[in-house]
Amino acid sequence: MTNKAKPSHKKFRLSPKDREYLTTNLALLMKAAVPIGEALDSLAKTTKSKLFKSAVVQMLRDVDNGLPLWKVLDRSGVVSEQTLALARLGEESGNLAANLQVAAKQEAKQRLFRSKVRSALLYPTFVLSLMTLVGVGVAWFLLPKLSETFTQLHVQLPLITRIFLDLGIFLKNDGLWAVPSMLVGIAVSFYIIFAAPKTKQFGNALLFHMPGVSQLLYQVEIARFGYLLSTLLNAGLSVTRALDLLEHSTSTPRYQKLYRYLRQALDDGYSFRTALPGYKAAEKLLPATVQQLLIAGEHSGSLAETLATVGADYEAKADISTDNLEVILEPILLVIVALGVLGLAVAIILPIYKLTSGLSS
């Protein structure tokens, strides 16, 4: 007689949009007094995503086996650490529906913060990609013909012209493998610099030094700091636990180090007033006005309300910076495009000028 194999459990990597959808709908259904099992069954029947459905089916199986919701969420890995902590605290305190609503708002805010940064980088990425595409097209199809013409006329070519023409000839002969290889190389480089876990801090540091973009990133991080820390404190978490979750909510190493330092300092018995001056980069990461508000809120016992004000203020500033970013980056992009066009124009015009001068003489 063979034993029936136990169903396997695995972690699911849902998109931020799916995480928000899951948390929001669970909060709404539980607020309406729908049992957790029925709520999950409803989500499994209405979703079109196979991955999302597989995750919900596994969660439903765990709920049927009597596991608490926070444990079910932990085993499936479908939510962030903040949502998991809020769910666990909500079940222990009897405020699960309310805490899930807080978690849903947090997920929505997190997606909003990410979308601000993505939309800010979309315009320069589009312009530079279009410029590269046009440049490769000109070099591939036009420059080889010019090279043949100049060769037949026996014109002595300047260095800049030879460089451009050699590039055109190379693309004509080897472009079918060189261009795809270049695109793959760019994609791999972007992944290594901006996405790979061990090296993405270099890309993050690069973005924090880009004109216009750096200001937006600081404002988004401060808005995240104020909003998330405020909601976690209002939900009943301790300051140190909230800072620990905040550290895991951001992908910016410099802010992760700050939150880690503050958590350790508060664990050791320090206050914000005494801990912040001991961190060298604190004033750059959290402006003096924010630090003063933080210290005043801690002293008056209204830290959560003060942090909510900071979050709302810097979220409004981030909105303005996002709208103004195109205006800031436009001159830089125009200079880059102008230099590329000027270089190509000079490379083509100089030999023609030499040829006409020789004919005139």
pLDDT of residue 357: 66
Residue 264 confidence (pLDDT): 92
DSSP assignment string, 23-65:
HHHHHHHHHTT--HHHHHHHHHHH---HHHHHHHHHHHHHHHT
The pLDDT tens digits for 292-323 are: 999 999 888 888 899 989 988 988 888 888 77
What is the structure's pLDDT at 2?
42
Q: Check residue 157 and report its DSSP letter.
A: P
pTM value is: 0.71
Question: 111 and 23 in contact (C-beta within 8 Å)?
Answer: no
pLDDT band at residue 172 under the 50/70/90 scheme: confident
Cα–Cα distance for residue pair 282/288, rounded to 1 Å: 9
Of how many residues is the chain composed?
Answer: 361
* Dihedral sign of CA atoms 13, 17, 19, 22 in order: negative
109-361 belongs to CATH 3.40.50.970: no
The 3-state secondary structure of 78-138, one letter per residue:
CCCHHHHHHHHHHHHHCCHHHHHHHHHHHHHHHHHHHHHHHHHHHHHHHHHHHHHHHHHHH
d(CA 334, CA 38): 57
> What is the band of 1 on the pLDDT scale with cuts at 50, 70, 90?
very low
pLDDT by residue (tens digit) across 58-80?
A: 888 888 888 888 888 888 888 87
Domain positions in the chain are 16-79, 109-361
pLDDT > 60? residue 6: no
Which among 278, 305, 280 is positioned nearest to 293, based on CA atoms? 305
CA 143/CA 165 separation, integer angstroms: 6
Q: Which two tokens stand for residue 118?
A: 């993505």
**Distance between CA atoms of 297 and 303, rounded to whole angstroms?**
4
pLDDT reading at 328 higher than 90? no
Q: What is the mean pLDDT of residues 78-93?
A: 79
